[in-house]
Structure 1
C-alpha cells in the first residue's frame, strides 16, 4: 500500500515536482548573493541617522526599506521624477539599481505559478503536496528497507538505480518535507485559507496638524536600530493629515510629522511571527545559509525522479490496455474533436460508444493532433468541430487548418464534418464550415455533407447519427445526455429594475454567495473563486441547455450579480426577470480567461452598452488598487437604464473610476458609445499609446462599431485593433 502510494504520485507529478525543485534550488542562491552584495549597516546605526543621511542626498525621499538580507532601498521624487536605488547606509548615497532582478522575477513566477496565475498556483501547490506525500511515504519505505528508523544509514544492496534512489532520499528527505510543508502553508495563505492574524494599528484621528519635523530628530527613530527596520514611509508632502509609518520586526506604528510623537503602535501577533518564520524557512530570506542547504537538497528531486522511473520500468510487468479509444494506427474510424469548453467531447464519447457497439473500432483524439500518416487502417474520418468566438478554432483544434493546408493532397479517406454552435450568433459553426471548405478545396472525399448541431441539441445529434449509420451501412442510434458541470442553487437576495420606459425591461439580480467547502477553495471548483467577467450558467426550467451571463461581481464582493434584459421569447431571461427575493435558480460557474483586466497599473478603457456594462461595473467595483479606469457607457436613456448610476459617484470618489463618458441613444440627438469614443479621440489615442488595455462588452453590432471607431482614432499612431488584440491589449465579450 505504501509503495503504491509512493509510486503513483511520483510518476504522475514527476514533471511538476522537477520544475518545482529545480526552480527552488535556483532561487535559493539569490538571498545569499544579495546578502554578499548589499552594503551592510554598521553596528548601532539607528533609523534616525540613516534617514538623515539619505535625506541629505535625496531630499524628496518617500520611503526607506530594509530587506531580510540587510539591503537598504530608498524611493524618492526629484522635481516630479521618481527615483530609487540601493543605499550605502554609511553615506546615504545610491550604489546600485533598485530595479527588480529579471532573472529572479522569472524564476519566482515559474516556481510559484508556472506563469499561469491562480491555476498555476494550484498546480504548484499540488506539486508541493505530491512532494510531501513522496517524502513521507519514501521515508517509511527507507525505514522498512533498512530495518527501522535507528538503522537509517545502514548499508544497502541491490541494483544501482534502487541504491542511488534511497541514498539520495535519506539525505534530502528532511529538507523536502520542510520545503513542501512551508510551500503548502504559503499557498493556503495566498488563497485566504488561513486566518489573517494581523493587528495593524488604527490610523490616529488626533494629529498635531503641523508638518516639517525632521525624521532624524524623532525619538522613536533614534531608539530604533536599522537592524530592526523593515520600512519607513514618509507622509504625503504638504498633507498635515498624514503621518510617518514605521514597520519593524516588532510591529507597526504611526509618527506625527509635526512633532515626532508616536501616535499609535501595534506589536506583531504570534500568528504573524509564525507566518514570517515559515516564509524565512521556505525562501531563505533572512537565513541565506539554510536556503542554500535546502536548495542543495531540492536538487535531489530530479535525480530521484530519474532513478525512480528506472526502478518502476524494471519492475513492471506490462502495461494494461486502455479501454475505449483504439490506437490511431489500428482504428477503422478516426474521430477527432474540436472543443473549447469541453461539451463537444461529451458528444464524441456518446458517438464513440454507439460506433463501438455497432462493431466499429474507433480512435478518439483532438483535432490539433491531426496526423493522416498515422491512420493506416482508417476507413473514415469524422470531425466534431465547435466554433470559438467569431469563427476561430476552439482550443483542441488549434493548428488543424494549418496542417491541412500544408498537405500536398488530402487523405484518401472519406470525411464527415459535424459543426456545433448557436444559431443566434452570426458566426454559427463558422470554424466547421471553414474546415469543410478547405477540405473540399483539397479534394478530400466526402462521406457525408456538412451538418450542424444547434445549441447542443440531442435531437439534432440523434438525427445526424441515424444519417451516419445509413452512410456506414449499420444501424446507429446515438442517444446523448448532456453532461453539465456540477451545479449549485443560488438564492436571489435583491433586484433592481430598469428599462420599462424604453420597452426593454432589465434587472440587476444579486444572489447570495454559496458557501464553499475547503476542497472547493483549494481547487477553485464551484463558486469558490471567480472575478467579474467570468460566466454563470443558468439552467432554465424546461430546458437542458444553459444560458450564460457575464458576472458583474467577483468573489471578494461577497455576492453573485448579473444584469439581465428580458428578451421576447427568451426562456432564461423571462424566468430570471420574474424572480423575487428568496427565489432560487440552478447555476454553475464557467471561467472566462479571455476577458480579464490583467495585472499592472496600466490604464483600462472599458467600453460597454446596455447590459454589457455589468462585468465592466464589476471590474470598477473591484478596483481596490485604484488603477486608472475610463468607462464609456452607452444607454438608451439615463432615466430608464443608467445601470449602476447610484454607485458610480461613490466609485469616483473612492478613486476606483477615473472617468465616465456616457452616450444616450434615445433622444433628440441619438449618440452611441462609438460616437462617444470619437468625441474623446485625442485622450483615447494617448491612453492607448501609453499602454492602456481596452475591454469591450455588449452586442456584436456595438462591438463592430467600436472597432471601427478605434481604427479611425488610432490610424495616426500606426496602431489598429488587430495589433492591440495580438498584443493582448484588446479583449471582447460580445453576444
Structure 2
C-alpha cells in the first residue's frame, strides 16, 4: 500500500514535477548571484542615515532606497524628468550599474509559479507541491522500511541498478525537497484562501508633523539609530511639502520619520504572523539565505533522475507481476467474498483480497452480494465488503441481499467477517455494513472477526484489517491496494444563476460545458467522447487541497449540452465554497458517477417529486426530460419566494407545456412559515390517491428534510395498510439524501 501511495503521484505528475524542480533549481541561483555582486558592510559600520546622506550626494532627487534580501542597495530617483534605478555602493553612495529585473529569471519564475497559465497554473503548482509532500513523506517511510528502521537511515544501502540509485539520491535530497514542498504548499494555500494570510497592519500616518525646515537626511536621529543590515525600504517625502514624512521599513517593523526633527513617529512592530510568513518565503526561495537556496537547488536537480528511476522501477515491477488466479466456482470454494458497491470502488479492494488469498493457497469465489447462493458446501470463510448508499441504504450490487439471506443455509463451519466502506462525515457511517453484520449473526454464523469500517477508502486501514485477518486465519495476506482515481473530464463554467443571499442560503445553479480541443469534446484521459449521464447521476469534484471527492446530483442529461448542478455554499464547506466562487470561464476537473438507483420510473403512473433547497436540481432535470408528458407533481420547499425560488422561470415553462403537472411550493421565511412536509400533509388526500394509483415517490435533499418527509408519508399511507419501507422494496420510494 505504502509503495503505491508513493508511486502513483509520481507517475501521474512526473513531467510537471520535473518542470517545477528544474525551474526551482534555476531560481535558487538568483539569491547566490545577487549576494556575490553585493557590497556588504560589516555590522554597525553604516547606518541608514549615513547611507541616505551618501546616496543623496550623488542622486539629489532620490525618491526611494531599497535594500534587497541579498544585501544589494537600490536607489530610485529622477533626473531631468526621467525616472531611473541604480545599484549603489553603500560605502560611498556611488552608482555601480543601472538596476533592472532579469527577463530570463522573470520568465523562469512565471513558469515555476504558474506554468504560464495564471491562476489555473498556480493552482496546479499548488497541487504538485502537495504531491511532492506526499512523495517525500512516503519515501522517507519506505527508506526506513528498507534500512530496517529510522535509526539505520544513514547506513550503506544494498542492491544495485535503478532501485539503488533511486534510494541513494532520495536519501540525499529528501530533506531539501520536503522543505520546498512544505513551504510551497503553505504559500499556495494562502494564495487561494485556504489558509489565512497575516494581516498587514502598518502604522497610522502621524496626526502631528513639525512642519519645520527639512534637515539633511544624514543628520536625522531616527535613521541614525537603524543599522543598514535591518533596512528594507526608505521612501523620501514629497519635495517641497514640509508636512510629508520619511516612510521607514525595517526587518522589525515600520514607521514614519519627521524630516525636520528626525524623530520616529508612529512605529508599528512587525506582527508575529508576518514574521512567520517572511520566513516561509525565505525558506522556499532562498532570499536572504543564499546558501540554503543552493542546497535546495541541488536537491531539486535530483528530481528528474528520481522520476526516471522511479518510472523504471514501476515498469519493472508491473512487467514482472503475475496474473491473478481465476475465480473459483461457488460450489468448490473454501472462501467466499461478497461485494456491495455503488460506484465499483469497493470492487478494487475485493480484487486485492481475492488475489492475496489465492496466492497463499485458498480457493476463492468472489461475486456481488445480490448473487448470494443458498449454500456454499465447501466454504468455511465468508468475507463481505460493502459500501453504504445514501442515508444507510444498500448499494446497487447489494439491494437484494437481505431478501436472499432469508433462504440462505450456512454450513456449521462457516464463519464471517464484514468490512464496511464509507465516509465518517456522514452520521450513518457504514450503516448498511453494520446491518449486514447483525443479519449474518442472526442467521447463526460465528464471526471470524468483528466488523470494521474503512473511512474514505483508506488504504492504511484496509492493510491493517488484512493483517488482523491474516493473523486469525494463520497466514500473512499483505493487502496493498490504492484505488486509482476515476477518469476525469474537464469542465468550463459557462453560466451561473445565484440565489439566497438575503436569506443566508447562498445557492447557485452552475452550468458547465465539456472543454473542447481540436473540434472534439475532450474526455480525459484518452476518450474523445463526452461521458453519457442522466439527471440524477452524480458529478464528483475534488476541491483544491482536498482529499476526497464531493458528489453533486446532476440536473441535466448529456443530451442537454451542459453539465448542470445546483450547489448551496455550506459554512466551512471546502468544495461548495470552491464551486460557489467559480466565475464563467473557470475550469474544474471532475468525473461522472452513475446513479441508476435514482430515476423516475417509465410509464404513465404518477411521479411525485419532493425536495428542498438545492435538492431541486435533479428533480428539475427529471421534469425537463419528461417529453412524454407523464403525470409529474413537484413539492419543493425554500426559504423565500423573493430570494431563493430556484428554477422559477424554468418551472413556469414546464407547467405551460405540461411537462410538469402541478407545482406545490412552500417557504419557511414567509407568512406561512412551513416546510415541504407540511405541504404534503395539507395534500394528504391527493398524495394517498396517487400512491394508491401506483405513483412513485422520489425525494432529494438534506437528511433532516428526508426524515421529516418519510414520517409524513408513513402517516399518509396508514389507511392504505402500507408504509415507506414497503414502497421502497417495490422501487417506488427512492432517495438521494446528503
- The equivalent residue for 1:439 is 440
> Is contact 1:410–1:442 with CA below 8 Å preserved after alignment?
no
Which deviates further from its counterpart, 408-417 or 568-577?
408-417
Distance 1:685 1:412, change over 3 A: closer
Residue 703 of structure 1 and its aligned partner are, at CA, apart by 1.9
> Is contact 1:487–1:526 with CA below 8 Å preserved after alignment?
no
Aligned match for 2:555, one of 552, 557, 561: 552
Structure 2 SS opposite 1:666 = coil
- The equivalent residue for 2:44 is none
Structure 1 unaligned spans of 5+: 1-320
> Is contact 1:557–1:622 with CA below 8 Å preserved after alignment?
no
Which TM-score applies when normalising by structure 1? 0.50
- The equivalent residue for 2:472 is 471
- Alpha-carbon distance in 1 for matches of 2:634, 2:731: 19
The answer on 1:507 being equivalent to 2:504 is: no
Q: What do residues 124-164 of structure 1 show as CA deviations (whole Å, max 9, x unaligned)?
A: xxxxxxxxxxxxxxxxxxxxxxxxxxxxxxxxxxxxxxxxx
- Alpha-carbon distance in 1 for matches of 2:614, 2:401: 36
- The equivalent residue for 2:352 is 350
Structure 1 SS opposite 2:487 = coil
Q: What do residues 403-449 of structure 1 show as CA deviations (whole Å, max 9, x unaligned)?
A: 55545665414422211223344443233222322333444333221
The answer on 1:633 being equivalent to 2:636 is: yes
Residue 542 of structure 1 and its aligned partner are, at CA, apart by 3.5
> Is contact 1:527–1:589 with CA below 8 Å preserved after alignment?
no
- Alpha-carbon distance in 1 for matches of 2:571, 2:513: 28
The answer on 1:610 being equivalent to 2:609 is: no
- The equivalent residue for 1:46 is none
Distance 1:399 1:674, change over 3 A: closer
Distance 1:664 1:363, change over 3 A: same
Residue 606 of structure 1 and its aligned partner are, at CA, apart by 1.9
Aligned pairs, how many? 411
Structure 1 SS opposite 2:565 = strand
- Alpha-carbon distance in 2 for matches of 1:731, 1:682: 21
> Is contact 1:382–1:416 with CA below 8 Å preserved after alignment?
yes
- Alpha-carbon distance in 2 for matches of 1:423, 1:414: 27
Distance 1:597 1:567, change over 3 A: same
Which deviates further from its counterpart, 435-444 or 445-454?
435-444
> Is contact 1:531–1:555 with CA below 8 Å preserved after alignment?
yes
What is the RMSD computed on CA atoms of the aligned residues?
A: 3.4
Structure 1 SS opposite 2:643 = helix
Structure 1 SS opposite 2:642 = helix
The answer on 1:662 being equivalent to 2:671 is: no
Residue 495 of structure 1 and its aligned partner are, at CA, apart by 1.7
Residue 481 of structure 1 and its aligned partner are, at CA, apart by 1.7
Residue 328 of structure 1 and its aligned partner are, at CA, apart by 5.0
- The equivalent residue for 1:700 is 703
- Alpha-carbon distance in 1 for matches of 2:402, 2:724: 24
The answer on 1:678 being equivalent to 2:677 is: no
- Alpha-carbon distance in 2 for matches of 1:400, 1:531: 27
Aligned match for 2:343, one of 328, 341, 344: 341
- Alpha-carbon distance in 2 for matches of 1:717, 1:348: 43
> Is contact 1:415–1:448 with CA below 8 Å preserved after alignment?
yes
Residue 724 of structure 1 and its aligned partner are, at CA, apart by 4.1
Q: What do residues 373-404 of structure 1 show as CA deviations (whole Å, max 9, x unaligned)?
A: 5453x553322122344544444445544555
- Alpha-carbon distance in 2 for matches of 1:726, 1:361: 35
- Alpha-carbon distance in 2 for matches of 1:536, 1:526: 17
Residue 585 of structure 1 and its aligned partner are, at CA, apart by 1.6
Residue 563 of structure 1 and its aligned partner are, at CA, apart by 0.6
- Alpha-carbon distance in 2 for matches of 1:440, 1:461: 22
> Is contact 1:607–1:694 with CA below 8 Å preserved after alignment?
yes
Structure 2 unaligned spans of 5+: 1-322
- The equivalent residue for 1:384 is 385
> Is contact 1:456–1:545 with CA below 8 Å preserved after alignment?
no
Q: How does 1:66-215 map to 2 (within 5 A)?
A: none
Residue 675 of structure 1 and its aligned partner are, at CA, apart by 0.7
- Alpha-carbon distance in 2 for matches of 1:670, 1:534: 32
Distance 1:478 1:409, change over 3 A: closer
- Alpha-carbon distance in 2 for matches of 1:526, 1:428: 36
- Alpha-carbon distance in 2 for matches of 1:386, 1:469: 22
Q: How does 1:385-400 map to 2 (within 5 A)?
A: 385-397=386-398, 400=401
Distance 1:372 1:446, change over 3 A: farther
Q: How does 1:241-640 map to 2 (within 5 A)?
A: 323-328=325-330, 333-357=335-359, 362-371=364-373, 374=376, 376=378, 378=379, 380-397=381-398, 400-401=401-402, 404-406=405-407, 410-513=411-514, 527-543=530-546, 545-640=548-643
- The equivalent residue for 2:24 is none
Distance 1:654 1:327, change over 3 A: closer
Q: How does 1:226-241 map to 2 (within 5 A)?
A: none
Residue 635 of structure 1 and its aligned partner are, at CA, apart by 0.5
Q: How does 1:9-20 map to 2 (within 5 A)?
A: none
- Alpha-carbon distance in 2 for matches of 1:650, 1:369: 45
- Alpha-carbon distance in 2 for matches of 1:441, 1:719: 26
- Alpha-carbon distance in 1 for matches of 2:720, 2:408: 40
Which TM-score applies when normalising by structure 2? 0.50
Aligned match for 1:710, one of 709, 713, 734: 713
Q: What do residues 85-126 of structure 1 show as CA deviations (whole Å, max 9, x unaligned)?
A: xxxxxxxxxxxxxxxxxxxxxxxxxxxxxxxxxxxxxxxxxx
Distance 1:364 1:707, change over 3 A: closer
Distance 1:525 1:531, change over 3 A: farther
- Alpha-carbon distance in 2 for matches of 1:518, 1:584: 14
Q: What do residues 239-298 of structure 1 show as CA deviations (whole Å, max 9, x unaligned)?
A: xxxxxxxxxxxxxxxxxxxxxxxxxxxxxxxxxxxxxxxxxxxxxxxxxxxxxxxxxxxx
Residue 510 of structure 1 and its aligned partner are, at CA, apart by 0.6
Q: What do residues 36-85 of structure 1 show as CA deviations (whole Å, max 9, x unaligned)?
A: xxxxxxxxxxxxxxxxxxxxxxxxxxxxxxxxxxxxxxxxxxxxxxxxxx
The runs of 4+ residues in structure 1 deviating greater than 6 Å are: 515-520
Distance 1:602 1:438, change over 3 A: closer
> Is contact 1:514–1:527 with CA below 8 Å preserved after alignment?
no
- The equivalent residue for 2:258 is none
